[in-house]
Amino acid sequence: MAEVALYVEAVINSELVNRKQKEVGLFDNSTKFESSVKQIPYSQQAVYQNISDLRNLEKVRDRVPEDKVNDFSFDADTVSLNVAPVGELKLRICDREEPKCVKFETVQSPVPFNVWIQVLPVDETSSKMKVTVKAELNPFIKGLVSGPLQDGVEKIADALAQIHYE
């Protein structure tokens, strides 16, 4: 009986160590990709109101490259698209911090990831924005997709900076 108790205690301690290692970032497979900071000639509130309601994507539907993106659809909280060669992606807004941040989580994706768009005021009529993606990537996949993912994050930020937020 004492052997079983020692075994259970060892398993529990091992699990606690694993959790602590994840909390402090050891053995964590998450990778962050950040865009450069983009200057936006619209107020923080105007930008936030547009990005926090995905129905506003209708304004940029004509800018979506049809050769790379198919089945582009959205409602107030979700966006779905099929991206070659990645496949079907569906994102949902999981948190809104008015007027400074909108966070997204994957609902459907080959790789789990989160996206957040941060908006900070510069003055009454302008703001700045940064896009961040945090993805769970094993070391092999990370080596293959880091460059394209970083480029993609920068292109998303560039596209967001070009929108008329009035």
Phi–psi pair at 68, nearest 5 degrees? -115, -25
In this prediction, residue 148 carries a pLDDT of 86
pTM of the model: 0.79
DSSP per-residue letters across 100-140: TEEEEEEEE-SS-EEEEEEEEEEETTEEEEEEEEEEE--HH
Domains and CATH numbers, the chain: 30-161 (3.30.530.20)
State the sign of the Cα–Cα–Cα–Cα dihedral 106, 109, 111, 115: negative
In this prediction, residue 9 carries a pLDDT of 57
Pair 79, 57: CB distance under 8 Å: yes
**What's the pLDDT tens digit per position in 72-131?**
899 999 999 988 778 899 999 999 999 999 999 999 998 889 999 999 999 999 999 999
13, pLDDT greater than 80: no
Residue 26: band (very low, low, confident or very high) from pLDDT cuts 50, 70, 90: very low
Written as six digits, the tokens of 121 are 């005021």
- Per-residue 3-state assignment (H helix, E strand, C coil) for the chain: CHHHHHHHHHHHHHHHHHHHHHHCCCCCCEEEEECCCEEECCCHHHHHHHHCCHHHHHHHHHHCCCCCEEEEEECCCEEEEEECCCEEEEEEEEEEECCCEEEEEEEECCCCEEEEEEEEEEECCEEEEEEEEEEECCHHHHHHHHHHHHHHHHHHHHHHHCCCCC
